Structure 1
């Protein structure tokens, strides 16, 4: 089978190359998936560059989440059978035609989603759910400020915030991209190019945002500290700007806000019962059609680098998917 693999870590993602790989049979408790789609996530780029906290052994195929059909099953697999349509959390391995994965990492594709949609929703919406429900405790009627709202995790947070009854202010540096965010339910959209602090205060009657969802970091974080409400929660999702910011601790003291880290996967690994409940909640929303990822581009496997570059160059809106 074919797989796009990394043989050496590099700042330049062009190091990915197509290999012919022979997979061993699925081991005990494993299933072999014939992948039909894999979403592209920012950590895929960081892994190629050796900058992500999880560092897979070389050579490896990027790809954290995929969807496809079960091709065969290993000993002890009882829940799945060949032909089942499933979505799988992979961490790595998704940029390939087939992959062996633990049965426990697979679950049925919810509702009427196609393979691309199924591959695109789990990580983004789980991150948004854990951030807003478990870590941010977003309440109906509160104001949610979503940075990086045109990206996959940002757009998911906009939709999740509306489902939770919040007033959503969404930011980006592109007016054109913000048109999509507005169409997906944001109450207000702001271009951050000229700053956003005063506009957020104006929209909230001077209070500031109750919850701020920040996958960007850098200057965006610095300015967020200046427009957060008393008892606000500033959620740290990531640092796509490239700069990890810091805050003087007198600011949370004076303004009474909390800085809260969000790692949705680690949340589930440390508390498996809560992790399962979170996944079930997101899957229910997907099965009911209340969440549906926005896919802006689909690429064939041989153009995986182009798909990654679309994220790297900030050209994507929502999700980018590789289809086999």
Structure 2
């Protein structure tokens, strides 16, 4: 099979996703080349395609091959890599370049495939679980019994947050956008599930935790940020890791008038108000953290131990062929999917 990759030549809709031949690169010193069998698809990949992902512009520019995570077999190792051999089953992370049949990354970004995960599950594991882990354990630091509100609770990161919150002993309240996602959220550890398609989100949130939430995890952006902050307890932490509501659900290209309006209505948090309210607003972008070895190694060590213990299960996986990458993006942007989408080359 020829080596191939998905290339986005310039910002745009689904038509910009093109599958091209890949000129394979030999791994350098301390690097590993992996022949991929599965590739995780994340909402950030869609944002990259639209030309709105800041770190993609900073690190790569156009053209770009998106993709943050993959699973497969070691194809070749560079000088100094002595603990992996061709044929070893692995999964890992990459800062862009993942949508390809072969990926070259530094050794510390690759991990042995756990016995309890398939290739497809492993390919969809790192981005969502590392995001959830960093949000919850590195930034929020919840104590047992903490009331935690999770938006988009049946999605990739949301479902990871529910599981990690349960491990931390928190009381997890999950918000979902449609009724068919309620059971999925409950099964993953939500003590209360709010179906905002059938009930008023914030009335239900107040009923579930009348004194507010010590932690709210929000990747929606301006559609919920102001109310998420208003429903914090004292002390409370709002953790932000995305702005999904600013972006389209259909069509694949941004509405720039809506983007501008959403930018204007995004709350600005004043330090004096934060101090008086006894609250914190925290935010991060996982793509800036891949070079931080402690983030990858410590987080993944704990996550994989929980996988082996059966405390963490991979999200439900839906697969697409590499040639059907546009359909995968369309499905993810629609907001109707549960769990993770994975490309299979």
Could you say which TM-score interval applies, normalised by the shorter chain? over 0.9
Q: How far apart are residue 315 of structure 1 and its match? A: 2.1
Q: Contact conserved, 1:210 with 1:232, CA < 8 A, in 2?
A: yes
Q: Residues 24-66 of structure 1, C-alpha deviation per residue, up to 9 Å, x if partnerless?
A: 3222222221100011001111112221122224333221100
Query: Over residues 64-109 of structure 1, what are the superposed CA-to-partner deviations in whole Å (9 max), with x where a residue is unaligned?
Result: 1000000122222212111111111112222221122222221111
Number of aligned residues: 322
Partners of 1:226 and 1:145 in 2: CA distance: 12
Unaligned runs of 5+ in 2: 247-261
In structure 1, stretches of 5+ residues that fail to align are none
Name the counterpart of 1:51: 52
Alignment of 1:197 with 2:202, yes or no, is yes
Query: What secondary structure is seen at the aligned counterpart in 2 of 1:168?
Result: strand
Q: In the alignment, which residue of structure 2 is the partner of 1:259?
A: 281
Aligned to 1:139: 143
Are the counterparts in 2 of residues 13 and 45 from structure 1 also a CA contact under 8 Å?
Answer: no
Shift of the 275–61 alpha-carbon distance from structure 1 to 2, 3 Å rule, reads: closer
Distance 2:235 2:115 in 1: 38
| Aligned pairs (5 A) from 1:14-33 | 14-33=15-34
How do residues 15-164 of structure 1 correspond to structure 2 at under 5 angstroms?
15-55=16-56, 56-164=60-168
C-alpha change, 1:230 and 1:72, in structure 2 (3 Å) is: same
Aligned partners of 2:286 and 2:103: how far apart in 1? 23
Provide the rounded CA distance (Å) in 2 between the counterparts of 1:27 and 1:268: 18
Q: Distance in 2 between matches of 1:24 and 1:231?
A: 51
Give SS of 2:224's match: helix
**Misfit runs of 4+, over 4 Å:** none
| Alpha-carbon distance in structure 2 between the residues aligned to 1:260 and 1:293 | 26
Cα distance between partner residues in 2 of 1:186 and 1:273: 29
Change (3 A) 1:115 1:162: same
Q: TM-score, normalised by structure 1?
A: 0.92
Instruction: Assess if the C-alpha contact under 8 Å between 2:240 and 2:284 holds in 1.
Output: yes
Q: TM-score scaled to structure 2, two decimals?
A: 0.87
Distance 1:107 1:274 in 2: 14
Match of 1:309 in 2: 330
Q: Residue 254 of structure 1: CA displacement? A: 4.2
Q: Name the Cα RMSD after superposition.
A: 1.9
Counterparts of 2:139 and 2:179 in 1: how far apart (Å)? 30
SS at the partner of 1:298? strand
Change (3 A) 1:13 1:133: same
- Name which of structure 1's ranges 118-127 and 24-33 shifts more when overlaid on structure 2: 24-33
